[in-house]
């Protein structure tokens, strides 16, 4: 017996659901060895991991709150990767957005009602602006976008820490954090006694909008086409430069919005730890979702559940919280393998005779 991969003509629609699910199942199976190694009952640990995140209203809301920035960065990466604009820079664009939001939210002279909308717009513009740089470098000078987007993350991070250590340091606390934004700049809370803020709602609205944008607009159409075959696009009269710039603008603004949510809805200031790598996790999420915007929401929620649940699991069973990281990493690998089946089918070879 031997196996062989054969090309598929068409990918069945139910694959979009079954594949990620089997990838998650395989992930849990693979990680169960580690759980057992940590001396815990596998079923007990997993039930803590998953049930705690949904067991109370508070935990459920927290899961959504944790998912919000991941949804935004996941969408940012999904849009960019469709055009094969390799935006590894959602992290830096998020920081740019967060700083823009915190800056606007601290301006005393602005009228109260304008604060929240302006913060949202400013964060999107800041993210877009920071993503423009690598896009221009790539389209005008053919500089590799993987390298530039990645390195610009560090540039933005150190610009931020320099500001926080210097001119932007909160004079009241003396910590390397920015001053708090105005009270009336804080994002409205949608559910009493929780942290369910406006940014969470925006992230959930953004996903179907991005889906519609990719599927139903000429720009979205052009983004997919340029990503899949740039030279056919050029011959068909589509300007690749323009499409890549637009892609960078959209991708960057989505990543910037992640920053607005974190500042306006959770922290009310910028500090150096404002993003524990949301921009990078967004890449994993976008891949897990196969660049599908709705899939991004599900993948982000899965990651949020794992992160929220890991603490409860750790308390109850003694399995270290780092299992959450292992699960996230393994999920990427299993999903990449599962993706193989969307383009190929497995054939069993029997011996002739």
Write out the residues near other proteins by the rule CB under 8 A: 2, 4, 7, 9-10, 215-219, 221-222, 224-225, 228-229, 231-238, 347, 349-353
CA nearest neighbour of 71 among 217, 199, 187, 249: 199
In angstroms, give the least distance from the CB of 229 to other proteins. Answer: 4
Query: Residues near 147 by Cβ (< 8 Å), separated by ≥ 6?
Result: none
Cβ burial of 201 (10 Å; 0-12, 13-18, 19+) is middle
- State the Cα–Cα distance between residues 112 and 285, nearest whole angstrom: 36
In angstroms, give the least distance from the CB of 79 to other proteins. Answer: 16
Q: Is the CB of 205 or the CB of 232 nearer to other proteins?
A: 232
Coil, helix or strand at residue 295: helix
Cβ atoms 222, 238 nearer than 8 A = yes
CA nearest neighbour of 320 among 108, 31, 25, 29: 31
Query: Residue 138 corresponds to which tokens in the numbers above?
Result: 């790539």
Query: Residue 204 corresponds to which tokens in the numbers above?
Result: 């959930």
In angstroms, give the least distance from the CB of 26 to other proteins. Answer: 26
In angstroms, give the least distance from the CB of 9 to other proteins. Answer: 5
Q: Is the CB of 161 or the CB of 239 nearer to other proteins?
A: 239
CA nearest neighbour of 301 among 50, 82, 81: 50
- The CA dihedral of 190, 300, 259, 198, to the nearest 10 degrees, is -10
User: Which sign does the torsion angle of CA 222, 224, 227, 233 carry?
Assistant: negative
Q: Is the CB of 57 or the CB of 347 nearer to other proteins?
A: 347
Q: Is the CB of 173 or the CB of 217 nearer to other proteins?
A: 217
Q: Is the CB of 4 or the CB of 57 nearer to other proteins?
A: 4
Q: Is the CB of 163 or the CB of 240 nearer to other proteins?
A: 240
Cβ burial of 159 (10 Å; 0-12, 13-18, 19+) is middle
- State the Cα–Cα distance between residues 126 and 4, nearest whole angstrom: 49
In angstroms, give the least distance from the CB of 236 to other proteins. Answer: 4
Q: Is the CB of 113 or the CB of 235 nearer to other proteins?
A: 235
In angstroms, give the least distance from the CB of 215 to other proteins. Answer: 8
In angstroms, give the least distance from the CB of 244 to other proteins. Answer: 17
Q: Is the CB of 54 or the CB of 232 nearer to other proteins?
A: 232
In angstroms, give the least distance from the CB of 125 to other proteins. Answer: 21
- State the Cα–Cα distance between residues 123 and 160, nearest whole angstrom: 14
């Amino acid at each position: 017996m031997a196996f062989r991969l054969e090309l598929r003509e068409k990918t069945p629609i139910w694959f979009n659901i079954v594949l990620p699910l089997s990838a998650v199942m395989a992930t849990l199976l693979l990680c169960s060895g580690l759980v057992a190694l940590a001396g815990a009952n596998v079923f007990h640990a997993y039930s803590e991991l998953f049930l705690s995140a949904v067991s109370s209203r508070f935990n459920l809301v927290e899961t959504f709150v944790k998912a919000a920035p991941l949804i935004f960065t996941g969408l940012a990466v999904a849009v960019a990767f469709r055009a094969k604009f390799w935006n590894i820079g959602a992290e830096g664009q998020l920081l740019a957005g967060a700083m823009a939001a915190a800056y606007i939210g601290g301006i005393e002279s602005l009228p109260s009602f304008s604060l929240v909308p302006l913060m949202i717009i400013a964060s999107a513009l800041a993210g877009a602006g920071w993503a423009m740089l690598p896009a221009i470098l790539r389209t005008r000078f053919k500089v590799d976008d993987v390298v530039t987007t990645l390195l610009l993350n560090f540039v933005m991070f150190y610009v931020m820490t320099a500001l926080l250590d210097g001119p932007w340091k909160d004079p009241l606390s003396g910590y390397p954090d920015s001053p708090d934004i105005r009270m009336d700049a804080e994002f409205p809370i949608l559910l009493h006694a929780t942290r369910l803020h406006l940014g969470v709602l925006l992230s959930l609205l953004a996903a179907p909008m991005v889906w519609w944008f990719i599927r139903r607009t000429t720009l979205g159409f052009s983004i997919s086409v340029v990503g899949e075959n740039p030279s056919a696009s050029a011959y068909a009269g589509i300007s690749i430069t323009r499409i890549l710039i637009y892609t960078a603008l959209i991708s960057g603004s989505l990543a910037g919005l992640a920053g607005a949510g974190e500042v306006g809805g959770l922290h009310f200031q910028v500090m150096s730890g404002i993003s524990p790598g949301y921009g990078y996790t967004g890449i994993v999420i976008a891949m897990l979702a196969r660049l599908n915007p709705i899939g991004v929401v599900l993948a982000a929620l899965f990651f949020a559940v794992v992160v929220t649940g890991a603490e409860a699991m750790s308390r109850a069973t003694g399995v270290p919280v780092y299992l959450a990281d292992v699960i996230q990493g393994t999920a990427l690998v299993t999903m990449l393998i599962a993706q193989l089946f969307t383009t190929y089918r497995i054939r069993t070879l029997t011996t002739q005779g």
